[in-house]
Amino acid sequence: RLQMDRDKARPPLATVLGVGVTLPVPHDPVLTLATTGNAYRHLDTGTLTLGSDVKAALMEHGRTQGSSDYFAGALMACLVDMSGINASVLRQGLQLPRWEHAAPGERVLEYPCSLEELAQLRRFIGAYQKKQQKAGFKGTKLFSDAGFQTQGFRWIEYLAQWLRPASSSEASADPAACCRFAEVAAQVRDSSTWQEANLTVQTLPGVGGYTGAQALLQVLYGVFGGEVAACFTPSFAEASMRDWCAYGPGPVSSCNKLFGTADGETLAGIRWLQEHQQERFATYGLDFPYLQQADGTPRLLAACDLEHSLCYFSRYLSTRASLGAAGAEALSRAMPAGFRLYRIGKLQGLSAAKVWEDFDAHRDAGAGGALGAGPTTDHKSRHY
């Protein structure tokens, strides 16, 4: 992730600390613009924050931890979070009482965690689409000025299918509680392996490998604190998480660069990294993994941990290709304090011209000054 504020910049990543030694690392201008993240997926800050918010909302709903409806509410919130639906859509569409009664500065969950809230969100998106069409907007996004990762009106149909009666609802005493989403959530909770849980959640319309996998990890690590027994039923085999994971396009491109693998061979690349991690870390002289199991043995990186790192590695590769080494150097030198940079994901969707356009606009507004004139037009053409 690119640094959001230069005032809080960490020192450039010039070295890697090993076992009693310092290993020289070639200067990388892209990494000097980056912040570090945790290689262990269960320590992801965003996941832990979301999990805390979801738990608070579920308690407000009167859900009992460990119950099937508690799990279903957690899964719903995390899936909507991973869907990328714009926060303003959620706020306008839901207008939940927990927002109205929140104290100043209090954090409140911005995602639905009940069937009623999910239905309310769908009705809003449907009404908003008609309003947009009446105004002449013919795009597919929820808002005509939609930003990165904001989903489109296709979610009207996705959510409608989530809320339709499930195959078993006719025999249920409460058909409303047995819609397709509720049925899938129950099946996910009853899964015996990590692969089964992932493939089951992907049966929901609109949920692919990446969205489903990350939502489940948010549920497990964020909401349930990594307690497998509390998240799933006793039949779940925790060991099944060691060498299998679902993934999106990031690990596909990373493994292709690392191993030359084709799209269908990505899991083989992840498993190779998982199986050879100790010998590779030892070769590099790195004291890693640094966490231990309860019995004192190293907590090795599981497949989902490696998927997490491969995803960010793909963003590094994409950003390096977009900025170029010289472009990253220039941006690093001229970046003034407080200048809000793009996230790497933003850069993936921006053209080179747009990156420099915003860069020049900020510099011309008076922020450049003593920090240097920045790259010339000739330099820009070489960077790209």
- The DSSP string of 196-252 is HHHHHHTTSTT--HHHHHHHHHIIIIIISTT-HHHHS-TT--GGGGSS-----HHHH
Q: What is the spatial distance between Cα 374 and Cα 360, in angstroms, rounded to a whole number? A: 8
Q: Is the pTM of this model over 0.75?
A: yes
User: pLDDT: is 169 or 38 the higher one?
Assistant: 38
Q: Are 68 and 189 in contact (CB under 8 A)?
A: yes
What's residue 373's pLDDT?
Answer: 40
Asked whether the predicted pLDDT for residue 236 surpasses 60, the reply is yes
User: pLDDT: is 368 or 144 the higher one?
Assistant: 144
29 prior amide bond cis, ω within 30: no
Asked whether the predicted pLDDT for residue 311 surpasses 50, the reply is yes
Question: Closest by alpha carbon to 331, among 352, 312, 311, 349?
Answer: 352
| Structure tokens belonging to residue 15 | 């070295």
Split at pLDDT 50, 70, 90, the class of 105 is low
Q: Are 77 and 215 in contact (CB under 8 A)?
A: no
Residues 142-159: b if buried by 16+ CB within 10 A, e if exposed: bbeebeeebbbbebbebb
Q: What is the spatial distance between Cα 271 and Cα 251, in angstroms, rounded to a whole number? A: 12
Helix (H, G, I), strand (E, B) or coil at 5: coil
What's residue 230's pLDDT?
Answer: 96
- Summarised one tens digit per residue, pLDDT across range 148-161 is 556 788 899 999 99
Strands 22-24, 15-17: pairing kind = antiparallel
Query: Half-sphere exposure of 185 toward its Cβ, with a 13 Å CA cutoff?
Result: 27
Least confident piece of the model among 153-167, 182-196, 226-240:
153-167
Give the residue-averaged pLDDT of 354-376: 48
**CA Rg value for the chain:** 23
| Structure tokens belonging to residue 89 | 């859509």
| Structure tokens belonging to residue 252 | 């596909």
H or E element at residue 23: strand 22-24
H or E element at residue 259: helix 249-259
Give the residue-averaged pLDDT of 237-259: 94
**CB proximity list for 159: less than 8 A, separation 6 or greater:** 118, 119, 121, 122, 125
Q: What is the mean pLDDT of the chain?
A: 78
Q: What is the spatial distance between Cα 348 and Cα 357, in angstroms, rounded to a whole number? A: 16
DSSP code string of 261-274 = --GGGHHHHHHHHH
